[in-house]
Homo-oligomer: A and B are copies of this chain.
Amino acid sequence: MNIAGEMVRILGKDRVLDTKEDRLAYAFDGTMLSGVPDVVVFPQCTEQVQEVMSFANREGIPVFPRGAGTGLSGGSIPDGGIAMVMVDMNKILEIDRENLLCVVEPGVVTETLQTAAESMGLFYPPDPGSLKACTIGGNIAENAGGPRALKYGVTGDYVLGLTVVTPEGKLVQTGGRTVKNVTGFDLTSLLVGSEGMLGVVTRSTLKLLPRPETARTALASFSSVESAAEAVSEIISRGIIPTALELMDDVTIRCVENYVKMGLPLDAGAILLIEVDGPASTVDEHIAKVASACEYARATRIEVARDEDERDRLWKARRSVSAAVVQLNPTKISEDATVPRSKVAHLVRRIKQIARTYDLKIAVFGHAGDGNLHPNILANRRDTGEMKRVEEAVDALFEAALELGGTLSGEHGIGLMKARYLRKEAKETGIQMMRAIKQALDPNNILNPGKMLWG
Tell me the chain A residues, 320-343 only, with Cβ under 8 Å from chain B: 338-342
* Given A187-B433, A187-B434, A433-B172, also A143-B440 (CB < 8 A): no
Check: A377 CB closer than 8 A to any chain B CB.
Answer: no
CB contacts (< 8 Å) of A101 on chain B: these are: 340
Interface size on A, residues (CB 8 A): 93
Q: Is the CB of A427 within 8 A of B173?
A: yes
CA distance A339 to B418 in the complex (A): 41
Nearest opposing residue in chain B for A149, CB measure: B180
**Residue among B96, B179, B211, B440 making CB contact with A436, cutoff 8 Å:** B440
The reply to whether the CB of A372 lies closer than 8 angstroms to some CB of chain B is yes
Assuming the contacts A178-B407, A211-B239, asked whether A436 and B429 have C-beta atoms less than 8 A apart, the reply is no
Contact status of A422 and B180, CB under 8 A, knowing A170-B429, A441-B437: no
The reply on A156 being an interface residue by CB < 8 A is yes
Q: How far does the alpha carbon of A96 sit from the alpha carbon of B184 in the complex, in Å?
A: 32
Counting CB contacts under 8 A, is A203 at the interface? no
Q: Hey, what's the 0/1 contact readout for A425-442 against B, CB within 8 Å counting as 1? A: 111011111101111110
Say yes or no for A318: interface residue by CB 8 A criterion: no
Contact B181 A407 (CB under 8 A): yes
Among B97, B156, B185, B405, contact of A237 (Cβ-Cβ < 8 Å): B97
Count identical subunits in the complex: 2
Interface 1/0s, chain A 90-116, versus B by CB < 8 A? 000000111111000000000000000
Q: Which of B143, B241, B281, B422 contacts A186 (CB 8 A)?
A: B143
With A97-B237, A185-B434 as known contacts, state yes or no: A178 contacts B429, CB within 8 Å.
no
CB distance from A194 to the nearest CB of B (A): 5
A429 CA to B198 CA in the complex, in Å?
Answer: 14
Measured between beta carbons, the chain B residues less than 8 angstroms from A422 are 183-184
Find the B residue at minimum CB distance from A194: B185
Option from B96, B370, B430 in Cβ contact (under 8 Å) with A179: B370
Tell me if A25 is interfacial: C-beta within 8 Å of chain B.
no
Query: Across the two chains, which residue of chain B brings its CB closest to A440?
Result: B440
A305 in the interface (beta carbon within 8 A)? no
List residues 227-254 of chain A with CB under 8 A from any CB of chain B. Answer: 233, 236-237, 239-241
Contact B282 A426 (CB under 8 A): no
Residues of B within 8 A of A425 (CB): 176, 183-184
User: How far apart are A345's CB and chain B's nearest CB, in angstroms?
Assistant: 12
Return the CB mask of A341-384 against B: 1 if under 8 Å, else 0. 11000000000000000000000000100111000000000000
Given A209-B241, A239-B213, are A192 and B186 neighbors across the interface (CB < 8 Å)?
Answer: yes
| Listed A/B pairs (28) with beta-carbon separation below 8 Å | A99-B341, A99-B342, A143-B186, A145-B180, A154-B182, A172-B433, A176-B425, A177-B405, A178-B338, A178-B339, A178-B407, A180-B407, A181-B407, A182-B410, A182-B412, A182-B414, A184-B422, A184-B430, A185-B193, A185-B198, A186-B193, A210-B236, A213-B239, A278-B282, A279-B286, A281-B285, A436-B440, A440-B440
Q: Which 8 pairs show the lowest CB-CB distances between chains A and B?
A: A189-B189, A440-B440, A180-B410, A210-B239, A436-B440, A98-B342, A99-B340, A181-B407
By a beta-carbon cutoff of 8 Å, the part of chain A in contact with chain B is 96-101, 121, 142-143, 145, 149-150, 154, 156-157, 166, 170-174, 176-187, 189-190, 192-194, 198, 209-211, 213, 233, 236-237, 239-241, 278-279, 281-282, 285-286, 338-342, 367, 370-372, 405-414, 418, 422, 425-427, 429-434, 436-441, 452-453
